[in-house]
Structure 1
Amino acid sequence: MLDARREDLGRMLRAWRMARDPGLLPGPVPFRGHRSYLTQLDMALLLGVSERWYRALERGEDRTYAREMIAGVVRILDLSPRQATALYRGTGHQPPRHRAGGARPDAALLDLLHQQRRVSWICDQAWDVVAANTVAARHCPWLMHPETNTMTWAFSAEARYQLREWDTKWAVPLLGQLRLAWQRWPDNERLDEVVRTVRREPGVAELWEDTTGVRGDADDAARPMYFPLVAPDPLDVRVATYGRFGDTALRWVVLSPVDPSVVFP
C-alpha cells in the first residue's frame, strides 16, 4: 500500500514534469520532437535510470532513491527552493543548503548555448554550472553531474588529467579569477564555500599564497586540454567568458581550439 504523503508528492512531481518546457532544459535532450512537456521516459533518459525506476518515484513508491537522482530531477525541472525541499525531504534526504543567487539563463541565452559547436556552458557567480550544451556533455561529461561547480572540479585530482600543464597554465589564472571574485562579492556565501573547498585541495594552499599578484583575466592565453574523442594529444584552447550587458549573475564559458581546423564531433 502506498503512503498517502508520498503518493501526493508523486502527483505534484508529475504536474511539475508536465509543466516543464523541453526547450528550456539546462542540458542536451536525448529525444526529438516538438512536445510541450517531458514524458517519464524523457526523465529516465536524462537521469540515467530506467523508466520503471523513475515511474516508481512519481507513483510514490517507498524506494531508496539516490540523492544524485533527486538532485537531477530538481535541476531538470528547475524546481523552486520550496519544491526542491519537498522532494528531498519526501524521499528521505536532507535538502542542500540554499545557494545565494539562483540565477537562471533565459530562453534566448539557452538557445545560443545549444547552437554552439564548441564546448560551452553557463555558470553562476559562484561557478555552479546551470546549463551545458551537447558538445560539452560529450567531451566534458563532468559538466552534467548534479550540482557541478567549475572551480571545484578544476582543482580536483580528476581535472588535472584533462587540464594539462595544470599548475601553471590552469591553476594560476583560475586562482586569480577566484580570489578576485571572492573579494568582489563578499556576501555570496556559496562563493565563500567554493573558495574554502578549493583551498583544501592538495597543493592549492601553497599556490594561493604564491599567486597574490595574478591578474586573473588572461582569457586569451592558450592552454592545453585533453579531448580523447578529438585527438590523441592535448589541444591548445582559449577560454572565453561572455555575459549579458550589466549582468554579473551568469557567465557563459566557451572553449575554442587555437587551431581553427579542429572540429568537435
Structure 2
Amino acid sequence: MASGELPRALRSWRDRVSPADVGLPDVGLRRTTGLRREELAALAGLSVDYLVRLEQGRARNPSTQVLAALARALRLSAAERDLLYRVAGVQPPPTGVVPRRIGPSTARILDRLVDTPVAVFTASWDLVHANPLWNALLGVTEAATSRHGNLVRRHFMGVPSPVVHTAEEHDRFGRELIGDLRRASATYPDDRELSAMVADLRDTSPTFAKQWDDFAVMPRTAERKTIDSPAVGLVTLDCDVLATLDSDLRIVVYTARPHSEDAGKLDLLRVAGNLET
C-alpha cells in the first residue's frame, strides 16, 4: 500500500480512542475527541517526536516492536493490527507462532495497574510490556522487546539480575522456565524464533542442554522474591504470574504486604515517578 496510508491510519485510530478508554483523565480543553499525540506516545513507549514523524510520513520502516506497541496502545483488533503492519510495509505476524499481541481487555487491566509493578511476557518469556514502576523497581534501561528481554535467555546466559536467588532457588527457577518453554514449543511448533532460541541455548549453555533433555516439567507456584532494586535497595515482594486465556500471555505482578517496610519502598518509587512526570 502507499506509504501515505500509515499516517492517515494512525491519525484515524488515535482520534477514535478517548482518554477514558485507556484510563487517562479527560482534563483541559481538547482539540481532538481522541488521544493527544503525547498521550499515545506515552502509552506506546515512544517519543512524541518519533510519533509526529510517523504521522507526518517522515519516519519510514517502523520496527515490528514499534508497530506492536502502537497496536496495543490504540486498542486495535487483530484484523486492524494486521492492517497496521501492512500499511507500514511489514508482514503481519504469522499464525501458529507464540502470540505477542496484548488484547484490548488485557490492556485495560494493565492501564488500571499503574501503581503496581507489572510486566507482560509471552509463553516463551519474551518481555513485551513493562510499566514504569516495573522498570524503576528493576532498573530496566534496555528496550523491553530487545533480544535481551527474553527471561529464559537471560537466566541461562548468566545476565545479571536484580532478583536475589539462593543456589537452590536459581536452579528451581531455571527448571520452571524450561518447563514453560517445553509447553510453548509443543504448542507453537512453527515458531522459528522459539526453535532458534532453544537450539542456541542448547549449544551455549550446558545447564540448559542437560535440563532440556530431562523432559521434566516443574510446576510453577506463587512465591516471594527479594529484589536488589537500584532505586530503593532490598525489597521483598509477592510475585504472582497470571495467564491470559485468549493470547497465552503471562502477566507478572509484584505486590507488597500492606503497611510493611516493603510497601513503603514501593510508595517511594511511586512518588519518585510522579515527581519526574
Q: Could you state the TM-score of these two structures normalised by the residue count of structure 2?
A: 0.65
Cross-structure match for 2:119: 121
1:19-168 matches, cutoff 5 A: 19-23=16-20, 25=22, 32-33=25-26, 37-45=34-42, 46-51=44-49, 53-61=50-58, 63-67=59-63, 68-93=65-90, 95-98=92-95, 99-101=97-99, 104=102, 107=105, 110-111=108-109, 114-115=112-113, 117-129=115-127, 132-140=130-138, 141=140, 145-146=144-145, 151-152=151-152, 154-155=154-155, 159-165=159-165, 168=168
Cross-structure match for 2:222: 219
Shift of 1:96: 4.6
Cross-structure match for 2:272: none
- SS of 2:161's partner is helix
Residue 254 (structure 1) aligned with residue 256 (structure 2): no
RMSD value over aligned CA atoms? 4.3
Structure 1: distance between partners of 2:98 and 2:117? 26
Equivalent of 1:16 in 13, 35, 39:
13
Cα pair distance change 1:199/1:69, threshold 3 Å: same
Residue type of the alignment partner of 2:261 = S
Aligned identity (percent) is 16
After TM superposition, the structure 1 stretch with the greater mean CA deviation from structure 2, 42-51 or 10-19, is 42-51
Structure 2: distance between partners of 1:179 and 1:22? 40
Residue type of the alignment partner of 1:209 = K
User: C-alpha deviations, 1:90-130, integer Å up to 9, x for none?
Assistant: 44555554544566456488447734744223445444556
- SS of 1:249's partner is coil
User: C-alpha deviations, 1:205-234, integer Å up to 9, x for none?
Assistant: 4244147457342433x4442211111xx4
Q: Is 2:54–2:60's contact at 8 Å kept on the other side of the alignment?
A: no
Stretches of structure 2 that go unaligned for 5 or more consecutive residues are 270-277
Q: Is 1:240–1:255's contact at 8 Å kept on the other side of the alignment?
A: yes
Structure 1: distance between partners of 2:227 and 2:81? 36
Aligned residues: 252
Shift of 1:193: 4.2
Q: Is 1:175–1:216's contact at 8 Å kept on the other side of the alignment?
A: no
Structure 2: distance between partners of 1:55 and 1:129? 26
Cross-structure match for 2:210: 209
